[in-house]
Copies of this chain bind each other. A is one copy, B any other.
Amino acid sequence: MAKKIRFGLVGAGWMGKSHASAFRNAALVFRSRLPEIELRAVADVNLESARTLALANGCSRWTTDYNEIINDPEIDVVDITTPNDTHFVIARAAIAAGKHIYCEKPLTLDSRESQILTDEANAAGLITLVGFNYLMNPAQSLARHLIQSGEIGEVISFRGIRDGDAAVDPLAPFSWRHDRKIAGSGALGDTGTHALSMAQMLVGDIDSVFGFTKTFIKERPVSVAGSGYSSRADLTRMRAVENDDTTLCMLTFKNGAVGSMSCSRVATGRRAWLTYEIQGTKGGLFFTQQRMNELQFYRHSDPPSERGYKTIYIGPEHGIYSAFHPIPGMQIGYNDLKIIEVHELLTAIEKNMPAFPDFEFANKIAKVVDAILLSAEEGRWTALDELHAPSTVRE
């Protein structure tokens, strides 16, 4: 572990801060089990933001030009946390410069772009990782293990939900999240992809989809100040919402399983509610992100009078949890997932092996999203194979 891994951060907003913290904490949590890490530079369109974040993390270089990071020969990893619509261009340039890439989700706005990035990163032999942090939960590793070891038999059913109430107020102003050009789809791309990523990881490749989208709040007041979750509205000027408030879909998997996923950003009563139920021929699993330190497991081979879903609390027996706490019952939180994500990235770079989930994985999710949108438009089942290779990508 002689080699130090040096990274440059592009994007100094909330998620940039979160990544920088995760790198520092990974060093504290995993210590000598990880290569040494160094933050070399921070780029942001807002120089002050870049500067603040850099200084807070013991880094003395900041810039408004991300190319400085991409072209810096002293940097091994480019970490992208900028707005979604910029990921493609920055990541593509980083690939061209031979950098490993750590990119926030979604990787791109559509699967034509994600296919290009995947192809080019693979061709260049680079390590990539996309920030589907919920997959990093030791509870998910346990779920994977139980499935792969046959404990629930052949998986036949997946049911996923991702509901939130962030957009439930019809007077909350129009934001980038409602703008198809910047955000792509709405609830589906922003949050439904979390549930889809769990389906992909735990059940496997999706074969075909049927989608349905609905926008309940058809227009929203224009924002006059602030941005994101704290902006204020001008109630006299309305703008049409351009993407889905809710998306429902059905899924068929290559292994014969079937499933459904629904997501909503106007789900009154649900706050970052992310659940799945997986049924196999011999057992089942249930998980909800609201109780992210628990996995429910059912084994049909138990004696008939003793069958039931069991609630397993994550503890030191569950792999990477033990790096955080020596005893069970102490909770892993959201920030810890990011730390595990960084551990995964650095370990992959050190060993020169693919990280999980990489561009390839993100590309699969992007294709599922595109197929759902196409299906919803045309009102028919759509095979993922129908999505052609990219032809008209913006460059």
Contacts and interface: CB of A to CB of B under 8 A. Distances in A.
Interface of A: 14, 17, 20-21, 24-25, 27-29, 31, 52, 56-58, 142, 145, 152-153, 156-157, 159, 161, 163-166, 168, 170, 210, 212, 214, 216, 228-230, 246, 248, 250, 256, 258, 260, 262, 264, 266-273, 279-284, 286, 289-294, 297-298, 300, 304-313, 315, 317-318, 324-336, 379-381
A220 to B, nearest CB: 14
Contacts of A289: 329, 331
B14 A309 contact: no
B297 A283 contact: no
A279 B284 contact: no
A27 B14 contact: no
A138 B381 CA distance: 40
B290 A326 contact: no
Given A27-B56, A269-B284, A289-B329, 18 more contacts: A14-B326, A20-B28, A28-B57, A31-B52, A58-B58, A168-B300, A214-B258, A229-B327, A267-B279, A268-B280, A268-B298, A290-B313, A292-B331, A297-B308, A308-B311, A311-B311, A333-B336, A379-B381
Given A31-B56, A290-B329, A329-B272, A306 B297 contact: yes
Contact of A273 (B153, B308, B329): B329
B333 A317 contact: no
Nearest to A289: B329
Contacts of A292: 331
Number of copies: 4
Most buried by B among A307, A315, A331: A331
Contact of A315 (B57, B170, B271): B271
A260 B262 contact: yes
Nearest to A32: B52
A316 to B, nearest CB: 8
A260 B260 contact: yes
A306 B310 CA distance: 8
B271 A328 contact: yes
A262 B279 CA distance: 13
A128 to B, nearest CB: 25
A315 to B, nearest CB: 6
B212 A250 contact: yes
Interface core residue of A31, A300, A333, A334 (most chain B CB under 10 Å): A333
A331 B331 contact: yes
Contacts of A29: 21
Contacts of A280: 268
Contact of A335 (B52, B260, B282, B336): B336
Contact of A311 (B309, B329, B333, B380): B309
Contacts of A318: 305
Nearest to A293: B290
Contacts of A335: 324, 333, 335-336
Of A24, A260, A298, which is in contact with the most chain B CB atoms at under 10 Å from its CB? A260
